């Protein structure tokens, strides 16, 4: 976007998981073209209770929204975290980890100005420390997202994953490549419908609930940054 000469490579986030011997990266394939604002995509990634409704067949379980979130704010980022304790694993993670019983499942989403998002997610046997559970017992990955605005209401969605388990398993590479592309296709349908609704009734009121807190905080932070920078077009 914008003038290439104005880009500052030093401000690109260091997503070390993409180039680290203890993590296995899987690129997401060609970027999705999303018929929705990058802001809606960011809202979606900061409200991961949506997995219960949008991804019931893969990474969702019905009780995710029953567990509270913690919302934290830094100078240029917002972090949402949630631990879903002692619950059945979502179908996809259950398959990946071969879990036989319940798991603790964590979701930590961090959005950083202007439009970067990482989701650290996974499952481990209950009470074993979540992401700190011993290697070989857990499903753990980072989902890395770079939402690049094309217009105010369309987005090029670049993404990738990196996992800390089954590092040399090509079948697992394939699962990350194919299964997550299907999962994200579900988000993209919903986001397109959401944008179409907003376009149809731009002045309609919206109702904010608790889980919208991180998304709203990030939008405020971003609006402030845009105002500070002024019109750079």
Q: Which stretch binds Fe ion (CB under 5 A): 104-112, 168-176, 180-188, 191-199?
A: 180-188
Q: Which stretch binds Fe ion (CB under 5 A): 20-28, 91-99, 162-170, 186-194?
A: 186-194
Q: Which residues contact 229 (CB under 8 A, 6 or more apart)?
A: none
Query: Between 173 and 187, whose beta carbon lies closer to Fe ion?
Result: 187
140: contact with Fe ion by CB under 5 A: no
47: helix, strand or coil: coil
Query: Between 104 and 187, whose beta carbon lies closer to Fe ion?
Result: 187
Q: Which of 69, 138, 187, 217 binds Fe ion (CB under 5 A)?
A: 187
Joined together, the tokens standing for residue 219 give 């939008």
Q: How far is the CB of 164 from Fe ion (least distance, A)?
A: 21
Q: How far is the CB of 182 from Fe ion (least distance, A)?
A: 11
- State the sign of the Cα–Cα–Cα–Cα dihedral 94, 96, 99, 103: negative
Q: How far is the CB of 49 from Fe ion (least distance, A)?
A: 10
The C-alpha atoms of residue 203 and residue 197 are separated, in whole angstroms, by 11
- From residue 201 to residue 230, the character string flagging contacts with Fe ion as x (rule: CB under 5 A) and all else as - is ------------------------------
Of the candidates 158, 155, 218, the residue with the CA atom closest to the CA atom of residue 192 = 155
- State the sign of the Cα–Cα–Cα–Cα dihedral 104, 178, 144, 65: negative
Residue nearest to Fe ion (CB): 187
The C-alpha atoms of residue 182 and residue 28 are separated, in whole angstroms, by 11
Q: How far is the CB of 165 from Fe ion (least distance, A)?
A: 21
Q: If you count DSSP H runs as helices and E runs as strands, how many of each does the chain have, helices first? A: 5, 8
Query: Between 121 and 133, whose beta carbon lies closer to Fe ion?
Result: 121
Q: Which stretch binds Fe ion (CB under 5 A): 136-144, 182-190, 200-208, 220-228?
A: 182-190
Q: How far is the CB of 128 from Fe ion (least distance, A)?
A: 26
Q: How far is the CB of 138 from Fe ion (least distance, A)?
A: 21
Residue ranges in contact with Fe ion by CB under 5 A? 187
């Amino acid at each position: 976007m914008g003038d290439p000469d104005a880009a500052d490579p030093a401000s690109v986030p260091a997503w070390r998981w993409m180039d680290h011997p203890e993590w296995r990266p899987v690129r997401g394939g060609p970027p999705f073209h999303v018929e929705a604002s990058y802001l809606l995509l960011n809202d979606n990634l900061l409200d991961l209770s949506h997995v219960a409704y949008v991804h019931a067949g893969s990474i969702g379980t019905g009780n995710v929204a029953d567990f509270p979130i913690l919302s934290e704010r830094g100078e240029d980022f917002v972090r949402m975290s949630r631990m879903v304790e002692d619950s059945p694993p979502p179908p996809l993670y259950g398959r990946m980890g071969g879990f036989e019983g319940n798991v603790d499942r964590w979701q930590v989403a961090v959005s950083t100005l202007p439009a970067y998002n990482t989701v650290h997610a996974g499952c481990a046997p209950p009470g074993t420390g979540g992401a700190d559970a011993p290697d070989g017992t857990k499903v753990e990955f980072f989902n890395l997202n770079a939402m690049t605005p094309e217009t105010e209401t369309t987005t090029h969605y670049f993404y990738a994953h990196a996992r800390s388990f089954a590092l040399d398993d090509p079948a697992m590479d394939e699962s990350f490549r194919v299964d997550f592309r299907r999962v994200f296709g579900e988000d993209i349908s919903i986001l397109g419908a959401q944008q179409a609704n907003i376009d149809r009734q731009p002045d309609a009121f919206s109702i904010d609930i608790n889980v919208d807190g991180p998304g709203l905080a990030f939008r405020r932070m971003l609006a402030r940054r845009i105002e500070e920078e002024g019109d750079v077009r």
